[in-house]
Amino acid sequence: MTPDKPRLRMAPSPTGSPHIGNIRTAVFDYLYARHTGGTFILRIEDTDRNRFVEGALEEMMYALRWMGMQWDEGPEAGGDFGPYFQSQRLDIYHQYADRLVEQGRAYRCYCTRERLEEMRKVQEAAKLPPGYDRRCRNLSKEESGTLAQENPNPVIRFAMNRDGTTELDDVVRGHVSFRNDLQDDFIIIKADGFPTYHFASVVDDHLMKITHVVRGDEWLSSAPKHVQIYEALGWQAPVWVHPSLILDESGKKLSKRSEAQTRFLSYIEDGYLPEAMLNFLATMGWSAGEDRKLYSREELIEKFALEGITNHPAIFDLAKLNDLQGEYIRMLAVEQLADMIQPRLQQAGYIGDSLAGDDISYLLRVTALIQDRLVLLNEAADMVSYFYSDEFEYDEKGARKHLAKDTTPAILKAVISKLSDVNSWTVGDIESAMRAVADDLAVKAADIIHPTRMAVTGRTWGPGLFELMEVIGKSRVVARLERCAGGL
RNA sequence: GGCGCCAUAGUGCAUCGGUUAGCACGCGGCUCUUUCAAGGCCGAGAGAGGGGUUCAACUCCCCUUGGCGCCGCCA
């Protein structure tokens, strides 16, 4: 193995559906690992049995793979540093926790939850900073024995340094310093024998030879805890990277409350493209130092650098995502787009499970017509509905505007008759015929075109009328015109 | 409340001591056009406030203000 190759991990806890912020962090991990030829690791932090959510891990893996960010080590990938589930590493944590206890850097705490709660109330009432009062930090053998009878399931707390400061250098924050007298003796092993995040992540990061810890800014406050554990165990701390958080439109941390916005899978369902999503997430909170919008995956990998990570929070801008999405949709080859749309049209019942030659070319022609206008894949079915179904309603406003005039019946009649004489049903000939109708009736082309569009599609907007008429076909177009004229 | 982080247009970024402060999204207008998009052109729009340092600060330092985050036997 090449020495000094960066090793980064994404360490989600399976407590819910993947969060957009987690995926963004993973993007940074992934991009840096790929940029440096390092290793991208997936580790599951399932140390909270109460919050475990069935299927959360599967959704996480699905999301990462959908983004094209396959991990090199972890669940379903294997690796030399497993197991990659913290719940399967309990003995390892205990081994190091015991070592810390022996060293005097950790201690068993027999305080009950009730006492802790009481203590917190008192602190709050006295407007004191909340935190454990260290009652169990210096217990004699006898005292421990007595307390053990009251509470046979003690937790293990880490004994934080009381003096001086804990300092660390962060790639995006620079040098950061924390006063030790304000630090709390936090729990490293819970009563159920499971480790807390603070402990498990440090032990695993060390054992898995993680070189760069990239995690949200929300973790910066607890970084001194981690730094002190590294010191106590005589381990070298990784390079710290704390990118800023992604905020919602109101400027708050994206939370479960804004589920529609944070749940990553909903973007997949809506039909965003992985490339657009990757481009968007990567350039939100990171910059290559240039005025540029579009980056392919390869360019992202080539240009990504930790130093380019921004140090201020970014507000999630859906309009910008949509703009990027549009760019990527338009970049697609028609065949690709058609493939992506196909399942959604099947779901809408417009096409069958397997398409024959003619159906395929029809789909391709339809797709070509909507490509410029399509943003989300899930809008496709509605957008192409009238190419597949003759049963459509007329847009109310459009009907009032374009079909309600006294002249409409005569216009439609003239269109029908002229179109019926068109032999070669091509865009050019259709257009000529339509314009001829306008000339014959001495009206503007628009006066012919709008009612015709309404009659043929039921809508006021869409692809070029002549193009769309060509694709729908002469007989269906004429039938629709007749139906419309007959209904007036 | 304590601690920590942050501060360029509405939003995302660029500029990192000397620029008419640049780009993109969004917004407004014009254009193309049968519509809607897309495209092209034009436009409005920013260095939170106050002190320093310096010949020179958006850029460095300090304070204030504001925003966010953390303060769980959750991660």
Same domain, A199 and A132: yes
**DSSP structure string for A338-359:** HHHHHHHHHHTTSS-SS--HHH
Nearest alpha-carbon partner for A434 in A455, A418, A453:
A418
Do A95 and A214 lie in a common domain? yes
Phi, psi for residue A209 in degrees, rounded to 5: 55, 40
Interatomic separation, CA of residue A182 and C1' of nucleotide B3, rounded (Å): 8
d(CA A5, CA A37): 7
Which residue, A248, A174, A204, A249, is CA-closest to A21? A248
DSSP A223-253: HHHHHHHHHHHT----EEE-PPPEE-TTSSB
Tell me how far apart the 2 most distant CA atoms of chain A are, in Å.
Answer: 109
CB count, 10 Å around CB of A307? 8
Residue nearest B35, CA–C1′ metric: A461
Phi, psi of A249 (to 5 degrees): -60, -25
Q: In the complex, which nucleotide's C1' lies nearest to the CA atom of residue A110?
A: B73
Protein residue minimizing CA–C1' distance to B22? A291
Count helices and strands in chain A by DSSP H and E runs = 21, 11
Residue A293, domain CATH: 3.40.50.620
DSSP state of A290: S
Same domain membership, residue A375 and residue A231: no
**A252, two tokens:** 């708050």
* Residue A347 near residue A381 (C-beta atoms within 8 A): yes
Structure token digits, residue A219: 């973790």
Q: Which residues pair with A167 in a beta bridge?
A: A177
Dihedral sign computed on CA atoms, order A201, A204, A206, A210: negative
Nearest nt (C1') to A327 (CA)? B38
- Cα A194 → chain centroid: 30
Q: Which segments of chain A have a pLDDT < 70?
A: 1-3, 255-259
State residue A406's pLDDT score: 84
Evaluate whether residue A82 is within a structural domain: no
What single-letter DSSP state applies at residue A255?
-
What local confidence, expressed as pLDDT, does residue A334 receive? 95
Asked if residue A322 lies in contact with residue A297, where contact means CB atoms within 8 angstroms, the answer is no
> What is the C-alpha separation between A18 and A16, in angstroms, rounded?
6
Structural contact between residues A97 and A103, judged by C-beta atoms closer than 8 angstroms = no
| Assigned domain for A326 exists | no
Claim to verify: residue A123 and residue A231 sit in the same structural domain: yes
Please indicate, yes or no, whether residues A199 and A254 belong to a single structural domain of this protein: no
A461 touches strand B (CB under 7 A): yes
Query: Token match 């957008």: residue?
Result: A383
Nearest residue to nucleotide B24 when comparing alpha carbons to its C1'? A293
Q: Is the CB of A155 under 7 A from strand B?
A: yes
A458 is a domain residue:
yes
**Closest by CA position to A450, among listed A437, A460, A462, A442:** A460
A202 and A107 in a single domain? The answer is yes
Burial of A439 (0-12, 13-18, 19+ CB in 10 A): exposed
Q: Which of A440, A428, A438, A436 is nearest to A464 (CA)?
A: A428
Do A123 and A225 share a domain, yes or no?
A: yes
pLDDT in tens, A339-361: 999 999 999 999 988 888 889 99
Classify residue A322: in a domain, yes or no.
no
Q: What is the pLDDT of residue A2?
A: 47
Q: Is strand B less than 7 A from the beta carbon of A106?
A: no
Give the per-residue pLDDT at A256: 57
The answer to whether residue A327 sits within a structural domain is no
Contacts of A460 by beta carbon, 8 Å cutoff, 6+ apart: A395, A397, A398, A401, A402, A450, A453, A454
Q: Closest residue by Cα to the C1' atom of nucleotide B37?
A: A373
Query: What pLDDT shows up at residue A159?
Result: 96
Are both A94 and A236 inside the same structural domain? yes
* Residue A208 located in a structural domain: yes
Residue matched to tokens 């024998």: A193
Give residues with Cβ within 8 angstroms of A369, minimum separation 6: A463, A464, A467, A468, A471
- Are residues A188 and A273 part of one domain? no
Nearest nt (C1') to A253 (CA)? B68
Which of A412-432 are b and which e, b meaning 16 or more Cβ less than 10 Å from the residue's Cβ?
A: bebbbebbeebeebeeeebbe
Task: Confirm if A472 and A406 have CB atoms less than 8 A apart.
Answer: no
Are A412 and A438 contained in the same domain? yes
Nucleic strand B contact set for A 343-382 (CB, < 7 Å): 372-373
Tell me whether residue A321 is in a domain. no
- The total domain count for chain A is 4
**Identity at A122, one-letter amino acid code:** V
Could you tell me which residues are beta bridge partners of residue A117? none
CB of A324 within 8 A of CB of A278?
Answer: no
Which of A289, A315, A341 marks a domain boundary? Answer: A315
Domain that holds residue A121: 89-241
